[in-house]
Protein backbone atom coordinates (compact mmCIF):
# COMPACT_ATOMS: atom_id res chain seq x y z
CA UNK A 1 0.00 0.00 0.00
CA UNK A 2 1.31 3.42 -0.93
CA UNK A 3 1.73 6.08 1.72
CA UNK A 4 -0.72 8.96 1.59
CA UNK A 5 -1.77 11.90 3.74
CA UNK A 6 -5.34 13.03 4.33
CA UNK A 7 -6.20 16.65 3.58
CA UNK A 8 -6.35 17.58 7.27
CA UNK A 9 -2.77 16.47 7.78
CA UNK A 10 -1.66 18.27 4.63
CA UNK A 11 -3.36 21.50 5.72
CA UNK A 12 -1.98 21.12 9.26
CA UNK A 13 1.57 20.81 7.91
CA UNK A 14 1.00 23.97 5.85
CA UNK A 15 -0.30 25.80 8.93
CA UNK A 16 2.76 24.76 10.96
CA UNK A 17 5.02 26.04 8.16
CA UNK A 18 3.20 29.40 8.12
CA UNK A 19 3.44 29.71 11.90
CA UNK A 20 7.15 28.82 12.00
CA UNK A 21 7.84 31.23 9.15
CA UNK A 22 5.98 34.12 10.77
CA UNK A 23 7.54 33.48 14.20
CA UNK A 24 11.06 33.32 12.75
CA UNK A 25 10.48 36.56 10.80
CA UNK A 26 9.15 38.31 13.91
CA UNK A 27 12.16 37.13 15.92
CA UNK A 28 14.60 38.24 13.21
CA UNK A 29 12.85 41.62 12.87
CA UNK A 30 13.08 42.29 16.60
CA UNK A 31 16.65 41.00 17.04
CA UNK A 32 18.36 42.47 13.98
CA UNK A 33 18.96 45.98 12.74
CA UNK A 34 18.96 46.61 8.99
CA UNK A 35 22.38 45.85 7.52
CA UNK A 36 23.61 44.10 10.69
CA UNK A 37 25.04 40.63 10.12
CA UNK A 38 24.99 38.06 12.92
CA UNK A 39 26.98 34.86 12.25
CA UNK A 40 25.11 31.64 13.08
CA UNK A 41 27.38 29.08 11.42
CA UNK A 42 30.69 30.89 10.77
CA UNK A 43 31.63 31.06 7.09
CA UNK A 44 28.34 29.40 6.12
CA UNK A 45 25.19 31.12 7.44
CA UNK A 46 24.45 34.45 9.07
CA UNK A 47 21.35 36.45 9.92
CA UNK A 48 20.87 39.74 8.09
CA UNK A 49 17.57 41.62 7.97
CA UNK A 50 16.33 42.71 4.54
CA UNK A 51 12.91 43.97 3.41
CA UNK A 52 12.19 42.63 -0.09
CA UNK A 53 9.45 44.27 -2.18
CA UNK A 54 10.02 41.82 -5.04
CA UNK A 55 9.99 38.08 -5.58
CA UNK A 56 12.84 35.56 -5.64
CA UNK A 57 16.18 37.04 -6.75
CA UNK A 58 14.55 40.51 -6.47
CA UNK A 59 12.45 39.91 -9.59
CA UNK A 60 9.45 42.29 -9.90
CA UNK A 61 10.85 44.80 -7.38
CA UNK A 62 8.20 47.15 -5.95
CA UNK A 63 5.37 44.91 -7.18
CA UNK A 64 4.00 44.09 -3.74
CA UNK A 65 0.32 44.35 -4.75
CA UNK A 66 0.75 42.11 -7.79
CA UNK A 67 2.79 39.55 -5.83
CA UNK A 68 0.26 39.68 -2.98
CA UNK A 69 -2.56 38.87 -5.42
CA UNK A 70 -0.47 36.08 -6.92
CA UNK A 71 0.15 34.63 -3.44
CA UNK A 72 -3.57 34.81 -2.71
CA UNK A 73 -4.49 33.09 -5.99
CA UNK A 74 -1.91 30.33 -5.60
CA UNK A 75 -2.98 29.80 -1.98
CA UNK A 76 -6.66 29.50 -2.89
CA UNK A 77 -5.83 27.15 -5.77
CA UNK A 78 -3.74 24.91 -3.53
CA UNK A 79 -6.40 24.81 -0.80
CA UNK A 80 -9.06 23.87 -3.35
CA UNK A 81 -6.84 21.13 -4.82
CA UNK A 82 -6.01 19.69 -1.39
CA UNK A 83 -9.65 19.85 -0.30
CA UNK A 84 -10.93 18.23 -3.49
CA UNK A 85 -8.45 15.36 -3.39
CA UNK A 86 -9.20 14.41 0.25
CA UNK A 87 -6.10 12.15 0.29
CA UNK A 88 -2.87 12.86 -1.58
CA UNK A 89 0.10 10.59 -2.23
CA UNK A 90 2.72 11.23 0.45
CA UNK A 91 5.24 13.26 -1.59
CA UNK A 92 2.49 15.24 -3.34
CA UNK A 93 0.94 16.05 0.03
CA UNK A 94 4.28 17.24 1.44
CA UNK A 95 4.89 19.30 -1.69
CA UNK A 96 1.42 20.87 -1.56
CA UNK A 97 1.77 21.62 2.16
CA UNK A 98 5.22 23.18 1.76
CA UNK A 99 4.14 25.24 -1.26
CA UNK A 100 0.98 26.41 0.50
CA UNK A 101 2.83 27.24 3.73
CA UNK A 102 5.60 29.11 1.91
CA UNK A 103 3.20 30.97 -0.36
CA UNK A 104 1.00 32.06 2.54
CA UNK A 105 4.00 32.94 4.73
CA UNK A 106 5.40 35.38 2.17
CA UNK A 107 1.90 36.49 1.17
CA UNK A 108 1.10 37.46 4.77
CA UNK A 109 4.21 39.65 4.82
CA UNK A 110 3.19 41.36 1.60
CA UNK A 111 -0.38 41.97 2.77
CA UNK A 112 0.54 43.12 6.30
CA UNK A 113 3.88 44.85 5.81
CA UNK A 114 4.16 45.76 2.13
CA UNK A 115 7.36 43.71 1.85
CA UNK A 116 8.75 40.26 2.64
CA UNK A 117 11.08 39.85 5.61
CA UNK A 118 14.25 38.01 4.57
CA UNK A 119 17.02 37.21 7.03
CA UNK A 120 18.98 34.04 6.12
CA UNK A 121 22.26 34.85 4.35
CA UNK A 122 24.67 32.28 2.93
CA UNK A 123 28.23 33.45 3.53
CA UNK A 124 30.65 31.87 1.13
CA UNK A 125 28.65 32.79 -1.97
CA UNK A 126 26.82 35.86 -3.18
CA UNK A 127 23.29 34.43 -2.91
CA UNK A 128 20.10 36.42 -2.25
CA UNK A 129 19.01 36.64 1.38
CA UNK A 130 15.97 34.42 2.00
CA UNK A 131 13.56 33.17 4.69
CA UNK A 132 11.78 30.04 5.92
CA UNK A 133 8.91 30.44 3.45
CA UNK A 134 11.44 30.46 0.60
CA UNK A 135 13.00 27.27 1.97
CA UNK A 136 9.54 25.65 2.12
CA UNK A 137 8.80 26.61 -1.49
CA UNK A 138 12.10 25.07 -2.62
CA UNK A 139 11.40 21.93 -0.58
CA UNK A 140 8.02 21.75 -2.36
CA UNK A 141 9.80 21.61 -5.72
CA UNK A 142 12.03 18.82 -4.38
CA UNK A 143 9.01 16.87 -3.06
CA UNK A 144 7.17 17.25 -6.39
CA UNK A 145 10.29 15.90 -8.14
CA UNK A 146 10.51 12.94 -5.74
CA UNK A 147 6.80 12.25 -6.34
CA UNK A 148 7.31 12.31 -10.10
CA UNK A 149 10.34 10.01 -9.93
CA UNK A 150 8.70 7.52 -7.55
CA UNK A 151 5.45 7.40 -9.54
CA UNK A 152 7.40 6.89 -12.77
CA UNK A 153 9.34 4.09 -11.07
CA UNK A 154 6.10 2.49 -9.83
CA UNK A 155 4.50 2.54 -13.30
CA UNK A 156 7.57 0.97 -14.95
CA UNK A 157 7.46 -1.95 -12.47
CA UNK A 158 3.84 -2.82 -13.17
| Residue 30 belongs to a domain | no
Query: Mind listing the pLDDT tens digit for each residue in 69-116?
Result: 899 999 999 999 999 998 999 999 999 999 999 999 999 999 999 999
Q: Is residue 112 part of a domain?
A: yes
Which domain covers residue 84, as residue numbers?
9-18+46-53+60-157
126 is catalytic: no
Name the active-site residue from 21, 109, 126, 134.
Answer: 134
* Residue 40 belongs to some domain of the structure: no
> Is residue 131 one of the residues assigned to a domain?
yes
Would residue 35 count as lying in a domain? Answer: no
**pLDDT tens for each residue of 11-41:** 999 999 999 999 999 999 999 987 788 999 9
Give the mean pLDDT of 136-152. 94
Is 36 within a domain?
Answer: no
Q: Assign residue 89 a region: left if phi > 0, alpha if psi is -120 to 50, beta otherwise? A: beta
Cα separation, 133 vs 129, in Å, equals 12
Q: Is 111 exposed, middle or buried (0-12, 13-18, 19+ CB in 10 A)?
A: middle
Q: Identify whether 134 is a catalytic site residue.
A: yes
Q: Indicate the number of domains in the chain.
A: 1
Active-site annotation holder among 21, 109, 118, 147: 118
Amino acid sequence: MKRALPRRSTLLIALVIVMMDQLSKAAASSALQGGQSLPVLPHLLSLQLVHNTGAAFSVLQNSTALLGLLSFGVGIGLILWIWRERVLPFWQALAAAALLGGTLGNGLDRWRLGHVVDFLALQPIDFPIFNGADVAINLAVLCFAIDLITRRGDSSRG
